[in-house]
A and B are shown apart, each in its own frame.
Chain A
Amino acid sequence: MSEDVILKVRDVYRTYDIKGGLFKKASTLTAVKGVSLDVERGTTLAVVGESGCGKSTLARMLTMIDAQTSGTIEIDGLPIDISKTGISKEMRQTVQIVFQNPYGSLNPRQKIGHVLEEPLLLNTDMPPAERQDLALQMLQKVGLQPEHYGRYPHMFSGGQRQRIAIARAIMMKPKLLVLDEPVSALDLSVQAQILNLLADLQDEMGLTYVFISHDLSVVRYIADKVMVMYFGEVVEYGTRDDVFNNPQHEYTKTLFAATPRADVDSIRKRLAAKAA
């Protein structure tokens, strides 16, 4: 592999211990079983799967919220194993995350300016004036106005809040951005705006995305590579065109069959079947 690979994951496992009770034996649950993947700089990997398949656990390990049980994660050549080495400010700056629900991920009592400056305050020694400049720049970059700086989250719509969450994530100029279902809580028209914003930012800043989603139409639009997870295991991994045109695993096929089709031919077929 060339040195262009920014995220390298090899055979990662994550198990959780489940406590026993009076009538229940203690057991372990393996949420992620032997996941390996490579993501090249400036590309997008989409992780698809149903709830409980381990895709969010994977995201938590990539963003250093949670440690892996075994296996190696390497981000831009830097090995990550927070259970052994802990976590440094430099490591924090390499990866950031955007969560699904923009209503839940912003503190209602924090002004937007403060939301954006906090990562800098915690991780850098930047003077306050510079932080403010940077925050104002970032607001414009994600399509908001400078006057939004002093406002509170409740004054914004869902789409605007997701823009704020994205702005906060890229304040540190991370190399890797993990997006955990960033558009599934949004309306169709707002979803299109956010997807466009993400594409623009990727071009402009050379960002690498790990995009977690269960919406295949969004994945098809945004991804370069696609990984399908099922019960903690990777069942399909390849370029977008390979996975969409020639799915190998039974589960991937089920997933494609279940996705609602909004083209005229499918509607005609359905109406014909109904009339018969």
Chain B
Amino acid sequence: MSLLEIRNLKVEFDTAKGPFKALDGVDYTVDPGEVLAIVGESGSGKSVAMLAMMGLLPNTATITADTMTFEGLDLQNLTAKDRRKVIGKDISMIFQEPIASLNPCFTVGFQLGETLKTHTDLKGRQIKDKVVDLMTSVGIPDPAGRLNAFPHQMSGGQCQRVMIAMAIACSPKLLIADEPTTALDVTIQKQILDLLVKLQQDSGMGLIMITHDMGVVAETADRVIVQYKGRKMEEADVLSLFESPQNPYTKALLSALPENATGDRLPTVSDFAEAGGF
């Protein structure tokens, strides 16, 4: 059975100019132990899909789907209280801006402990030990000493490690990483991606990588979904996607990569849009 199964997901936002379709009938499935990458440019609806699944969208959004289940549990008709038992424990998420997603008023140790306090029966001393374990597993040097550090005292890469530690605190079955490395330097990006893939392989959890960087996709994913303007353009395993892209948009995206440039000009997506008609 799939870990996550979403069929025909539609999301509409009410705006002053009438409803805006952010997602138009997209399917997602993730198996346990699989790395799925969702690629697309801004406005393609890649984050909206995951936020809809987690119930994090504002109430101007209308979400409909034929099925939306996590381990057989129907996520659509869940009460807010029941949803909170799943989100943060079995499904957790890492956001793009590590420094903005941590609370500047509390130490990282406290914020890590909070997750454990909410979702587990651990108490006092046990929580502290577990927090130190978590910080060690994500590779923060001197974890015991860093417990009392505030987010502003740590670098961007360190903060992202804390976010990852927080996300894996309750051994989730599904981890969603929304552009986890966009704000980071290449060398740090490499470390964070390696860490995510290692954690994923060790624990066998499902991992969804949301990104617009084809390089990140190539380095991490098993299967890829390419999205454009709220529609799925292509779904394929990573090798066949890069080897023989089927959809004109995917082809356009791959040829816009500067490293694939031949000649003086980079082909842009709009060049292909005229020819391919998507």
A193 at interface by CB-CB < 8 Å: yes
Partner of B261, one of A188, A189, A221, A268: A221
Q: What's the least CB distance linking A104 to chain B, in Å?
A: 15
A261 & B215 in contact (Cβ 8 Å cutoff): yes
Interface size on B, residues (CB 8 A): 39
Cβ–Cβ < 8 Å partners of A274 in chain B: 201
Give min CB distance, A40 to chain B, whole Å. Answer: 19
Q: Does A214 sit within 8 A of B, measured CB to CB?
A: yes
Interface SS of chain B:
helix
- B41 near A187 with CB under 8 A, answer yes
Enumerate chain B residues within 8 angstroms of A260, measured Cβ to Cβ. Answer: 189-190, 193, 213, 215-216, 218-219
- Residues 234-278 of chain B, each 1 if its beta carbon lies under 8 Å from chain A, else 0: 000011001100000000111011111100111111100000000
Judge if B214 is at the interface, Cβ distance under 8 Å.
Answer: yes
Judge whether A245 is part of the interface by a CB distance below 8 angstroms. Answer: no
- 1/0 per residue, CB under 8 A from A, across B192-228: the answer is 0100000001000000000011111111000000000
Instruction: Check B219 against A261 for contact (C-beta < 8 Å).
Output: yes
The 8 A CB mask of A183-214 against B (1 = contact, 0 = none) is: 00001111111011001000000000000001
Contacts of B156 in A (CB 8 A): 51
- Assembled-state Cα–Cα distance A177/B82 (Å): 56
Residue on B with the closest CB to A48?
B186
Q: How many residues of A contact B (CB 8 A)?
A: 37
The answer to whether A218 has its CB under 8 Å from any CB of chain B is yes
The residues of A that contact B190 with a CB separation of less than 8 Å are: 257-260
Q: Across the interface, do B239 and A271 meet the contact criterion of CB distance under 8 Å?
A: yes
A219 to chain B, nearest CB (A): 9
Which chain A positions have C-beta within 8 A of B79?
A: none
Chain A 210-246 interface residues, beta-carbon cutoff 8 Å to B? 214-218, 220-222
- B-side contacts of A190, CB under 8 Å: 41
Which of B193, B259, B269 contacts A221 (CB under 8 A)?
B259
**B42 and A187 form a contact (CB under 8 A):** yes
Question: For window 171-193 of chain B, which residues contact chain A by CB distance below 8 Å?
Answer: 185-190, 193
Asked if A189 and B242 make an inter-chain contact with CB atoms under 8 angstroms apart, the answer reads no
Chain A residues with Cβ below 8 Å from B193 are 260
Dominant secondary structure of chain A at its interface with chain B? helix
Cβ of B214: which chain A residues have Cβ within 8 Å of it? 188, 262
The listed residue (B41, B187, B242, B270) touching A262 by CB distance below 8 A is B242
A125, CB-defined interface residue at 8 Å: no
A217 touching B215, Cβ below 8 Å: yes
The reply to whether A264 and B259 form a contact with Cβ atoms under 8 Å apart is no
Q: Which residues of A contact B252 (CB under 8 A)?
A: 189
Q: In the complex, A267 Cα to B237 Cα: how many Å?
A: 11
Q: Quick check: is A263 within 8 A (CB to CB) of the other chain?
A: yes
In the complex, which residues of chain B have a beta carbon less than 8 angstroms from the beta carbon of A261?
215, 218-219
Q: Is A83 an interface residue (CB 8 A)?
A: no
Partner of B186, one of A191, A192, A196, A255: A255
- State whether B187 touches A191 (Cβ < 8 A): no
Q: Are B256 and A192 in contact (CB under 8 A)?
A: yes
Provide the bound-state CA to CA distance between A259 and B257, in Å: 13
Residues of A within 8 A of B (CB): 50-51, 158, 187-193, 195-196, 199, 214-218, 220-222, 254-255, 257-264, 266-268, 270-271, 274
Q: Closest 7 interchain pairs by CB?
A: A260-B215, A189-B269, A258-B190, A221-B258, A187-B41, A192-B266, A50-B185
